Structure 1
């Protein structure tokens, strides 16, 4: 019995068709899932009172700052004062190794005893020879010699006593004491270090009036003469509602510009007692007399994206759930914020974080923040 060639070819054709369908299925790609909207942090732009004129940044210092050091040389044995510590007048801050100075003090005391003994012996000899002179047993020249010897012994005793006092002072100078009440602003030596006489160990900001020190650009010193009244505010304030303000007067302007920065150092005395003045070392803002307050639209610096064509912000479209790129014109920087002069209206919502990773028209959702512990427990119950 013979088999038809068509019947033999049928299974082969069926296998080829199945293999082709499998290959087509493997080559076809599934459509990627839609990216979920990204959560963004928003802020609503609003008008506020702000100083948009020229301002300067300064640092609060004590009016009198002194370098404290030992009056004698030696090895630093201990240091009790720490950086930032408040100290009182007369408080011991550090101590040198006193061994050598105590030995020198003992040697000076021994010299006093020796000089006192020699002086007493010379006085006794003079007294005896005065009796002999009255009796005519010695000449007047001999008596005068003994009188001169007593005077020399007196001088040697006074010299030894003065030297003993000096050595006693040397021992006392081995303890470094604060000469005024204040705050330690720098520590310049550690125990075990060998110090020279007068080498600074601490920097002390004395209690009392406070100054603000800042740099004035070259050419601007005439606009802020000595005696000018200025306003001072804390650095972190971005509006008048958040400001702590003080007044001050220009006390001193450097006679010459810094050779590197070409700026003039200015010192402004703060018209406030120490307990009401800004904290020592804090950064403050100085407003010259011509600085004016005005309504300004302020945004955090993190909301601004700098590009070659200018500054842009991302404005949130609540209806479309998207962010739109918007070019803006920026003005003065006020603390950690910048004034927006053109391109934005009060009431619009702007992205304030991650502005460098967004694209125009990107789908976003407002960031609501993490749930608190109270909210979590309430939902679980």
Structure 2
């Protein structure tokens, strides 16, 4: 009996000793969570990087082919109307001009000769000393001489123009945007050697992705921010939209014109174009606040009891640092701005702002 009583009491004693050695469970640690509220609609817009360009950018080329003997301007240099930009070797066109001048002189001498012959035959005909057929022959030679002289004059004028074409001049004032020629290079007629950014209106060139092309239209209002004036927006509109995509980048070129002429935009300056669309979401959240699982996006909303609640959201087109929320949130909600992948449903957090100050979530369920 004694042995049986000891065997029954031993487990109880061991259980009591184990319970005495265990420490009480520590309370769960409430971690801080950076929270933000969705931004208002006016802050939601698609952003496209761009470059300030001249509205008129003619490509300049020689009207004749030849070897470049002089390049008189550099890329980025300002030029005036009719200023010489480059010259071709004038030897060939000069020789052609001299040949045409000689032909012109020969045609003039020939005309003088056939005119004299015609006048002499006219006097002989009046005296009935020659037949009409002989006079007609002299008259025809005279008319042929006139035609030959006209042809020689036209060829001489063309040769003179060719000599002028050996000098490429600026068609208007502006800045040399690109240079594609060097001294000694042989160029063909019409081959681009300079691109001129003409003085006048300035625009912003952007590239529109294929999936967004249908959302744009000529005349659509936009705003532009210049990198030299951060935070300042200038009104503009889409002036031009290419109907065909670039074969390499698969993007569509677009030009944005400024509404005001007083915009301090300079050539080559970087810019950002903000384009809002009708029906766009009323709210947006930071990209870091969004988590996705199985193709479904969600955010963590913080309740009035400082507990996180998983909320499924419908998103619009992603921006550079934020994303529009089409459905799932209200303007009064508070969402966790970062670290959502380590949270769990119902977890208690300590909401703080970006300055690490406690946030009072008033009016939250």
TM-score normalised per structure 2 = 0.65
Alignment of 1:308-347 (within 5 A): 333=320, 341-342=337-338, 345-347=353-355
Match of 1:57 in 2: 49
Structure 2 vs 1, CA of residues 257 and 193 (structure 1 numbering), >3 Å: closer, same or farther?
A: closer
Match of 2:218 in 1: 226
- Identify the match of residue 137 of structure 2 among 127, 139, 145: 145
- Alpha carbons of structure 1 residues 160 and 72: separation in structure 2 relative to 1, 3 Å: same
The alignment status of 1:257 with 2:256, answered yes or no, reads no
2-structure distance, mates of 1:277, 1:225: 26
| Displacement after TM superposition at 1:101 (Å) | 1.2
Please say if residues 181 and 206 of structure 1, whose CA atoms lie closer than 8 Å, have aligned partners that are also in contact: yes
Q: 1:288 to 1:53 in 2, by over 3 A?
A: closer
Give the conservation status (yes or no) of the 8 Å contact 2:234–2:263. no
Per-residue deviation, residues 93-133 of structure 1 (Å, max 9, x unmatched): 01111122112111111111111011011111111111111
> Match for residue 271 of structure 2?
284
Which runs of no fewer than 5 residues in structure 1 stay unpaired? 1-45, 299-330, 350-381
Cα offset for 1:221?
Answer: 2.6
- Secondary structure of 1:77's match? strand
Q: CA RMSD in A?
A: 3.2
1:164 equivalent to 2:156? Answer yes
Paired residue for 1:362? none
Partner Cα separation in structure 2 for residue 257 and residue 267 of structure 1: 14
> Take 1:167 and 1:152, find their aligned partners in 2: how far apart are those partners?
22
Deviation of 1:253 (Å): 2.0
SS in 2 for 1:165: helix
What secondary structure is seen at the aligned counterpart in 1 of 2:337? strand
Aligned to 2:121: 129
Distance in 2 separating the partners of 1:293 and 1:174: 61
Q: Secondary structure at the match of 1:137?
A: coil
Distance in 1 (CA, whole Å) between partners of 2:74 and 2:232 is: 30
Distance 2:272 2:166 in 1: 43
In structure 1, how many angstroms separate the alpha carbons of the residues matched to 2:338 and 2:240? 40
Between the aligned partners of 2:142 and 2:178, the Cα distance in structure 1 is 55
8 Å CA contact 2:52–2:204 kept in 1: the answer is yes
**Contact kept in structure 1, 2:286 and 2:321, CA below 8 Å:** no
Show the counterpart of 2:146: 154
1:133/1:226 Cα in 2 relative to 1: closer, same or farther (>3 Å)? same
Are 1:69 and 2:61 an aligned pair?
yes
Deviations 1:277-298 (A, max 9, x none): 4221222111113489999999
The answer on whether the counterparts of 2:44 and 2:276 sit within 8 Å (CA) in structure 1 is no
Partner of 1:212: 204
> SS where residue 285 of structure 1 aligns?
strand
- 2:349 paired residue number: none
Secondary structure at the aligned position of 1:180 is classed as coil
Check 1:285–1:248 CA distance in 2 against 1; reply closer, same or farther (3 A cut): same
